[in-house]
Structure 1
Amino acid sequence: MTVPSASPPKLYKSQRFASLRAIGALVLREMSTSYGRSPGGYLWALLEPLAGIALMTVVFSAVFRSPPLGNNFPIFYATGMLPFTLFNSMHNKIAQSLGYSRPLLAYPTVTYLDAILARFILNVMTQFMVAYLVFSGMLLVFETRTTLDLPVIIEAFGLTALLALGLGTLNCYFFTRFEVWRFAWSIMMRPMFIISGIFFLFENMPTPYQPYLLWNPMLHLISLTRRGFYANYDAIYVSKTYVLVVALSSLAFGLVLLRRHHRDLLNNR
């Protein structure tokens, strides 16, 4: 009678821990290369967006004194800008994962999935910390008259991170395969700052364009975030199912393309 070998489970466990070590090493590498040479190190990764949002808040507060929701423009602006910044920053980092980690991907123990997950984990931690600090500071400084629904807020930011992961993974292939697509995507994203509802509510946008604007998943996520801050804002048009479909289908398609072609992408550039 043949005794089953115990080596396959040990091999699987060894590969799993090797992947975790690779992800951890890639996270530390990015922290070192991206922030290690700047004044303040990783702290600058938090201070830079905080300062940018604070400056933009001061500028736009002088123009928009009466926000569409509530009585405080800084918190209204932050509920739109922070989800958009989270998506944009995370998407761009993930989409450039292959190019950034190209030297390390030559080693068999480091995979393209490790590179994507490392950038995802680091940027989730960074952007979530930025959001926490910005919102906490505003709630302490201003009389916002908002009622926080934490489960809804967490859900909105979680879906935003998932959307960034999905589209970022898909564009990780397209950015590397087609150089022109990187520039085309940059051009397409410029009007997103306006049509995602950062400054305006969906209900206040021109009626003929509203059905087309609903194809923009970021509009749903920003509105969902505001539902978590403003108890009287129901945003009945928000579709979490639509956001999930876009995020998961993009992630699945991107992983299939990278699995089949990542070696060609690395060797041909």
Structure 2
Amino acid sequence: MSQISFPTSTRRRDDRPDTPRLREIHKQRSFASLRSIGALILREMSTTYGRSAAGYFWAVAEPVGGIILLTAIFSLGFRSPPIGTNFAIFYATGVVPFLAYNSISNKLAASIRYSKQLLAYPAVTFVDALIGRVAVNGVTQILVAYLVFTGIVLTQETRTDPQILGIALSFVMMLVLAIGVGTMNCFLFTAFPSWQVVWSIISRPLFLASCIFFVFDDVPEPYRSYLWFNPLIHIIGQMRRSFFPSYVGDYVSAIYVFAVGLGLFVVALALLQRYHRDLLNS
């Protein structure tokens, strides 16, 4: 009677996945990415703000001074704001998140062109460049907002009740939208240089169409329904109802802002992942 032999696995012991080795490789790659991000952050600060602390001081003082100057000028013509009794805090709650969004999204849009030489190295990715610019400019804009709001509240009678969690939510909404728009424009500006001119023309009316000088509730129909689709309306509305207890702002939709910002970011990330090498070589 012949003996039946069952097939045995021909896989050798050496072919098995080396889990500790894979973990070590992943850890090394993560550390390399962190070093790249750190180097990009230092490069961003040294080239933009200079190598001294005074450079960063002026980088913060310039937007703070500009906002305070604009607030003082407009306060002379608008003594009775639509909400509250102090025009300075009403205007600041609109212009601060708007300028923060504008600054971060514009910085992100130039990430690839700004770090093009460094991105030629395999250890540096376009994601590192994006994270580095978001980190530096995000912290700067938060500091600017803190100085502006604190200065107005401490020096003037605003009759406001700032809610920290509501203010934080407004900044998170602003950051998500700025990252989404900035990352998408990072691809479009590099792939289609003429889009930068088109975007500059399109985005110019946003300063007036984002309810900085008025409130969304005062806009008549049907323009109010159209204006609702501007995500900045929701960010500024969230900021204002975090300062003014009497302002309901029931039109504010954080979900809508997150959907727009994250949707643009995911699409832009896919496009950059597919074409970033072609963009660097162009």
Question: TM-score, length-normalised on structure 1?
Answer: 0.97
- Cα distance in 2 for partners of 1:39, 1:236 equals 43
Other-structure match for 1:212: 226
- Cα distance in 1 for partners of 2:187, 2:134 equals 16
Aligned with residue 149 of structure 1, among 148, 163, 174: 163
Deviation track 1:225-255 (CA, whole Å, cap 9, x = no partner) reads 0010011111111111111110110000000
- Cα distance in 2 for partners of 1:152, 1:111 equals 34
Q: Which amino acid aligns with 1:122?
A: V
- Cα distance in 2 for partners of 1:43, 1:195 equals 31
Deviation track 1:192-216 (CA, whole Å, cap 9, x = no partner) reads 0011000000111232200100110
1:257 and 2:271 are equivalent in the alignment: yes
Other-structure match for 2:86: 72
Other-structure match for 1:36: 50
Deviation track 1:100-141 (CA, whole Å, cap 9, x = no partner) reads 000100000000000001000101100000001111111110
1:57 and 2:71 are equivalent in the alignment: yes
Does structure 1 conserve the Cα–Cα contact (< 8 Å) formed by 2:45 and 2:51? Answer: no
Structure 1 residue ranges without an equivalent (≥5): none
Other-structure match for 2:144: 130
SS in 1 for 2:81: coil
Cα 1:38/1:177, change in 2 over 3 Å: farther
How many residue pairs end up in the alignment? 268
- Cα distance in 2 for partners of 1:147, 1:235 equals 15
Note the C-alpha offset of 1:39: 9.2
1:175 and 2:189 are equivalent in the alignment: yes
Does structure 1 conserve the Cα–Cα contact (< 8 Å) formed by 2:162 and 2:242? Answer: yes
Question: TM-score, length-normalised on structure 2?
Answer: 0.93
SS in 2 for 1:41: helix
Note the C-alpha offset of 1:149: 1.3
Does 200-209 or 143-152 show the bigger shift? 200-209
Note the C-alpha offset of 1:4: 4.7
SS in 2 for 1:266: helix
Q: Which amino acid aligns with 1:57?
A: T
Structure 2 residue ranges without an equivalent (≥5): 1-12
Deviation track 1:51-76 (CA, whole Å, cap 9, x = no partner) reads 10011011100110111111001100
Does 213-222 or 33-42 show the bigger shift? 33-42
